Chains A and B, each alone.
Chain A
C-alpha cells in the first residue's frame, strides 16, 4: 500500500509540475495583463503537436524539436496578443470570452488537421529507473527535472533581470512602474509571449510522455487555473506549489475513490480553500 501511495505521490508531483508550468503562465498573465488566459491550454496543445510533428515526421532530434515547438508557439502567442488580447487588457470577462473563442477556433483547426485519433511520439528515452521499490520511466523523471529547472529559471529571471523586475514592479503598482519608464505595452506583450512559450514548452515535453489529441490542453488549463487560484493568483512561486498540491491530491485521491472522478478532487479542494482563504494559500494583496 505504501508503495502505491508513494508511486501516486511521485506521479502526482510530476503531473503537478506540468500543471505548475501552465499555472505559472496563468499567474504571470493575470498579474501583468489582468486577464486569465485560458487559451494557454491550446498553446500547450500546439506545442505538443509541433514537437511531435518535428520529431516523428521531420525526424529532428528531440531537443531541437522542443526548441522549434517553443519558437512556433511563442510566435503564435505573439500574433494572438497583437490581434486579440491587446484589446482586452484588464477586462477579465472579455478576456475570458476571447480566450474561449480562440480555444474553440484552434481546437477545431487541430481537429481538422490531425483528427481526434491519438498521436503518439516514439520513445525518446526508453527504460526505467528502479528506486525505492518503484518503477519510474526515465523520460518522466527527465521531464520532471527539466520542468523544475524551467520554473526555477523563470523565478530567477523575475528577480534578477531587468525585464523580470520591471514585471514585478508593474504587478505591484502599474502606474508607478509606468512613471519609472517601464514600457508597459511591450511588457504586457512580452509576458503574453513568455507565458505561451512556457505552455508550449510544457506541451512539447508532454508529447514525449503521453498521447496527443486536440483537446488535451483544456483539462490541463482548467487544472492550471485551479492551481493558480489555489496558490493565490498573482503568486508566481506559488504556482508551482499549487500545481504540485493539485497533482498530488488527485493522484492520492484516486487510490481511494473511483478514477473517473479524479478531476473532481482538484475542484473540491480548491473550493474548500477558497471558502476559508479567499485570496488563496499564498495570495496576499489581490
Chain B
C-alpha cells in the first residue's frame, strides 16, 4: 500500500516538468531536492543513530572543492571527480569518526569536535588561496556530461535535465536510507540511539555502527555537494559554514527525526520559504534560529511526528 503511494508520488514528480514550465519553480525544486538529500542523509546519523554531527556541511563543501580540483588537475570527468571526492570524504569521516567514537567520548564531544573540525576545514579553504581562490570562491565553467541513448554525450545544462538529476539523486538517497533503516543495521542504529550500553552487552559493536552511519551519511552529503556546486556554477567557503549545518539541522527537526522521508519535507519547506517570503540574508539567520528553537520546544517530533501522533490518537 505504502509502496503504491510512493510510486504515485515519484511519478508525479517525474512528470512535473511537463506541466510546470516556470523556470523559477523548477530551479527551486532542484535546490529543494539537493537539500533534501542533505537532510535525509544527516538524519541517518542524527535522527536514527542519535549522533549530532556538525560535519555534514563540511562534507558537502569539501567534496565540491575536491570534485573541481580533481577535474582540473587530474583531467577526469565530473562523475569520476565526484567519486574521488566521495572517497576523500569517506576517509575524512573515518578519521574523525574513529577519533570521536573510539574512546566512547560523550555524544556532545562528537558535536564539538565535528564543529571545530568543520571550522578548521572552512578556514583552510578560506586561506589556501592558491588552490581554492580563498573567499572569492571558484566559478565553474564546465558542466557535467552524460551519455544519453540516441544523442550521444550530452552536457547537463539547463534546468530540466538538472531537475531529473536532482530527483534521481534524492530518490536514490531515500532508497539507501530506507533500506539501511529497515535492515538489521537499522536495528543497530536504534539500539545505539536508545541505549548503547545495552546494545554493547547484546553483542553490537557500537563503535563500528556509529562509524558506519556517520560515513554513509557523510558520503551522501559529499555527492550532494558535488552536484550542488556544478548546478549552481560556483563554490565558495560558505558551503562549509556553520550556517549551512544549522540549516540542515533545522530541516530535519522541522520535518521529523524518526522518519526517513520527513526531513525531505522539512527541506522542501525551508528551501521554498525564502522564495515565498523575500527577506535579506541577516533575517534568514534569524528565521532559521527561530524555527530551530520553536521546533525543539514546541514540536519536538517535527511536523511529521506531531501529525502522525495526532492521527494515531484520533
Q: Is B233 an interface residue (CB 8 A)?
A: no
Q: Is B9 an interface residue (CB 8 A)?
A: no
- Please report the C-alpha to C-alpha distance between residue A226 and residue B108 in the assembled complex, in whole angstroms: 12
Q: Is B284 an interface residue (CB 8 A)?
A: yes
- Please report the C-alpha to C-alpha distance between residue A122 and residue B246 in the assembled complex, in whole angstroms: 35
- Please report the C-alpha to C-alpha distance between residue A218 and residue B126 in the assembled complex, in whole angstroms: 17
Q: Is B113 an interface residue (CB 8 A)?
A: yes
CB distance from A230 to the nearest CB of B (A): 11
Contacts of A92 in B (CB 8 A): 106-108
Contacts A36-B108, A112-B282, A274-B103 known; A98 to B292 CB distance under 8 Å? yes
Q: Which B274-303 residues have a C-beta within 8 angstroms of A? A: 282-286, 288-293, 296-297, 300
Category for how many chain A residues contact B? 35 or more
Residue of B nearest to A87 (CB): B297
Contact with B along A92-117 (1 / 0, CB 8 A): 11101110111111111101100000
Instruction: Assess whether A100 is in contact with B292, with CB atoms less than 8 Å apart.
Output: yes
Q: Is B117 an interface residue (CB 8 A)?
A: yes
Looking at B99, B112, B288, which has the most chain A CB atoms within 10 Å of its CB?
A: B112
**Count of interface residues, chain B, beta-carbon cutoff 8 Å:** 41
Contacts of B292 in A (CB 8 A): 97-98, 100-101, 104
Instruction: Assess whether A270 is in contact with B116, with CB atoms less than 8 Å apart.
Output: yes
Contacts A97-B249, A263-B119 known; A112 to B283 CB distance under 8 Å? yes
Instruction: Assess whether A101 is in contact with B293, with CB atoms less than 8 Å apart.
Output: yes
Instruction: Assess whether B112 is in contact with A264, with CB atoms less than 8 Å apart.
Output: no
- Please report the C-alpha to C-alpha distance between residue A36 and residue B103 in the assembled complex, in whole angstroms: 20
Contacts of B288 in A (CB 8 A): 101, 104
Instruction: Assess whether B297 is in contact with A98, with CB atoms less than 8 Å apart.
Output: yes
Q: Is A6 an interface residue (CB 8 A)?
A: no
Contacts of B99 in A (CB 8 A): 271, 275
Contacts A104-B286, A274-B109 known; A267 to B293 CB distance under 8 Å? no
Q: Is B90 an interface residue (CB 8 A)?
A: no
Q: Is A210 an interface residue (CB 8 A)?
A: no
Q: Is A191 an interface residue (CB 8 A)?
A: no
Q: Is B146 an interface residue (CB 8 A)?
A: no
Q: Which B210-253 residues have a C-beta within 8 angstroms of A? A: 242-243, 246, 249-250, 253
Residues of A bordering B, CB below 8 Å: 36, 84, 87-88, 92-94, 96-98, 100-109, 111-112, 218-219, 222, 225-226, 229, 258, 260-261, 263-264, 266-267, 270-271, 274-275, 278
Residues of B bordering A, CB below 8 Å: 52, 99, 103-109, 111-113, 115-117, 119-120, 123-124, 126-127, 242-243, 246, 249-250, 253, 282-286, 288-293, 296-297, 300
Q: Closest 3 interchain pairs by CB?
A: A104-B289, A105-B289, A101-B292
Could you list 8 examples of A-B contacts with CB < 8 Å? A36-B112, A96-B111, A98-B296, A101-B289, A109-B286, A261-B123, A263-B123, A271-B113
